[in-house]
């Protein structure tokens, strides 16, 4: 592309906006006869403005400071012109102005990136996932404001130290929800989302180097709680007078015998109950989390729960009366305390119980369990695949019986 033939920079004061003897200063960029103007957010005395030198002639510290600033602007505008030339970009008054104020494609900001992501991910990401990105955005805005004393930052200014400082801000700062402090893994989740945003910037060519290049996320592996066989018997046989507790007890059991997550239980409708290849009732649906189809045969206890709540007044479109996730988790903890089950249980623990106690420990192959859970990869299922001591004991007992009944000669020890 041909370079421009003419290029000039001109400072002038806007007398039409004069007030009390002072007028605002503008920079005018002219390329091939076409202009673009930038307000420099500075004013000067009309009396002391020299129209030839385009500088203030007043003998004061403020005037010297103003002239130094105009020199810096002039130098920066020249640099913007030179950058566009070296990058073989189109050179116009508008592109030089855009480069100067940071609004061109090579000077996208962090908030530009977040806005682009959020606008384009509507309908792609689940509402809950988008909500998490909004939380990360709020933490980033708070970090920029409180620690960097700015409203935004150019992507090219991001560095490894920015990531480290943001991590420390999350660890030491006040959480968005004052009642819930950020855990280590919660902090890592925010950083993981920021890393995904940086990868998007790389794909869009808004960023040349990933600031996460040498940063490693430090997740702590938490023990995922589930009900043992004894716990499950306690849970099923519990005599509960509180109606809300009773409903939550049954919802939790339903998940224990189907493996459905909270969202999938909440959204379960009659349209998802079908006769399977064996003539029994199955759930045919797709996971709310990843859209992966799954099929689960309904075990008798799960069917009993559906039948029990068929005429419940709180049931309308869905098959079960489901409270909010927060309320359900609160009731689960209260029920566990009453039953003497000293485990940190959440509704998701029922899904772990299905995978571990109900299926895998009873000999259901992990491939089958993976399909019923709606996992896209079997490695995801392996998180649930706990080998229980009881299962190991039974397996080894069976092996001993087989070895004792085999026709192999007995080994004689010693001479």
pTM of the model: 0.60
Per-residue pLDDT, 123: 81
25 with 133, same domain? no
On the question of pLDDT at 27 being above 60, the answer is yes
User: What is the torsion angle, in degrees rounded to the nearest 10, for the CA atoms of residue 301, residue 306, residue 307 and residue 308?
Assistant: 90
Question: Can you tell me the mean pLDDT for 359-375?
Answer: 88
In a domain, 69, yes or no: yes
> pLDDT (tens digit, 9 = 90+) per residue, 63-113?
999 999 999 999 999 999 998 888 888 888 988 998 888 776 667 889 999
CATH number at residue 267: 1.10.443.10
276 with 341, same domain? yes
Question: Can you tell me the mean pLDDT for 354-367?
Answer: 88
On the question of pLDDT at 411 being above 60, the answer is no
> Could you tell me which residue, 127 or 393, shows the higher pLDDT?
127
At residue 1 the predicted structure's pLDDT band, cuts being 50, 70 and 90, is very low
250 with 362, same domain? yes
In a domain, 342, yes or no: yes
In a domain, 253, yes or no: yes
In a domain, 407, yes or no: no
In a domain, 49, yes or no: yes
In a domain, 267, yes or no: yes
130 with 83, same domain? no
313 with 244, same domain? yes
The rounded mean pLDDT for the chain is 88
Q: Which of 24-38, 55-69, 119-133, 244-258 has the lowest mean pLDDT?
A: 119-133
In a domain, 212, yes or no: no
Q: Which residue has the tokens 């855009």?
A: 98
363 with 251, same domain? yes
Q: Which residue has the tokens 């938490």?
A: 222
89 with 122, same domain? no
> Could you tell me which residue, 306 or 401, shows the higher pLDDT?
306
Domain boundary residue, one of 105, 136, 160: 105
18 with 36, same domain? yes
On the question of pLDDT at 189 being above 50, the answer is yes
> pLDDT (tens digit, 9 = 90+) per residue, 142-174?
999 999 998 989 898 899 999 999 999 999 988
Give the phi and the psi of residue 207 in degrees, each rounded to 5: -140, 135
Per-residue pLDDT, 388: 59
99 with 193, same domain? no
On the question of pLDDT at 4 being above 60, the answer is no
48 with 62, same domain? yes
In a domain, 57, yes or no: yes
The whole-angstrom separation of Cα 60 and Cα 64 is 6
389 with 242, same domain? yes
> Could you tell me which residue, 410 or 60, shows the higher pLDDT?
60
CB 73 within 8 A of CB 40: yes
Q: Quick one: which of 258, 272, 321, 266 has its CA closest to 288?
A: 266
Residue 180 domain boundaries: 108-203
310 with 245, same domain? yes
Structural domain total, the chain? 3
Per-residue pLDDT, 409: 63
The whole-angstrom separation of Cα 72 and Cα 374 is 60
């Amino acid at each position: 592309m041909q370079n421009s033939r003419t290029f000039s920079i001109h400072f002038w004061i806007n007398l039409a906006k004069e007030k009390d003897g002072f007028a605002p200063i503008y920079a005018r960029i002219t390329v091939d006869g076409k202009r673009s103007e930038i307000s420099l957010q500075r004013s000067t005395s009309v009396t002391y403005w020299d129209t030839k030198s385009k500088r203030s002639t007043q003998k004061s510290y403020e005037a010297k400071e103003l002239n130094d600033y105009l020199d810096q602007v002039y130098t920066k505008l020249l640099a913007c012109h030179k950058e566009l030339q070296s990058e073989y970009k189109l050179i116009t008054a508008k592109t030089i102005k855009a480069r100067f104020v940071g609004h061109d494609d090579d000077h996208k900001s962090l908030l530009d990136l977040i806005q682009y992501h959020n606008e384009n991910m509507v309908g792609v990401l689940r509402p809950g996932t988008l909500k998490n990105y909004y939380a990360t955005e709020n933490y980033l805005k708070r970090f920029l404001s409180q620690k960097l004393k700015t409203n935004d930052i150019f992507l090219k200014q991001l560095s490894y130290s920015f990531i480290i400082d943001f991590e420390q801000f999350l660890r030491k700062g006040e959480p968005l929800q004052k009642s819930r402090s950020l855990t280590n893994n919660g902090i890592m989740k925010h950083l993981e989302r920021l890393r995904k945003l940086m990868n998007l910037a790389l794909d869009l060519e808004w960023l040349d180097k990933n600031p996460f290049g040498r940063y490693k996320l430090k997740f702590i592996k938490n023990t995922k709680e589930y009900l043992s066989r004894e716990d499950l018997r306690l849970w099923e046989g519990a005599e509960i007078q509180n109606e809300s507790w009773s409903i939550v007890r049954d919802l939790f059991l339903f998940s224990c015998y189907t493996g459905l997550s909270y969202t999938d239980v909440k959204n379960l409708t009659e349209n998802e109950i079908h006769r399977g290849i064996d003539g029994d009732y199955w759930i045919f649906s797709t996971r709310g989390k990843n859209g992966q189809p799954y099929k689960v045969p309904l075990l008798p206890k799960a069917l009993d729960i559906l039948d029990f709540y068929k005429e419940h007044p709180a049931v309308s479109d869905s098959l079960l009366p489901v409270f909010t996730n927060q309320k359900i988790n609160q009731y689960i903890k209260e029920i566990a305390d009453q039953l003497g089950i000293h485990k940190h249980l959440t509704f998701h623990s029922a899904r772990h119980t299905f995978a571990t106690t109900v299926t895998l420990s009873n000999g259901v192959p992990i491939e089958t369990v993976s399909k019923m859970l709606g996992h896209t990869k079997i490695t995801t299922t392996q998180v649930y695949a706990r080998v229980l001591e009881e299962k190991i004991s039974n397996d080894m007992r069976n092996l001993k019986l087989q070895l004792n009944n085999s026709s192999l000669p007995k080994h004689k020890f010693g001479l």
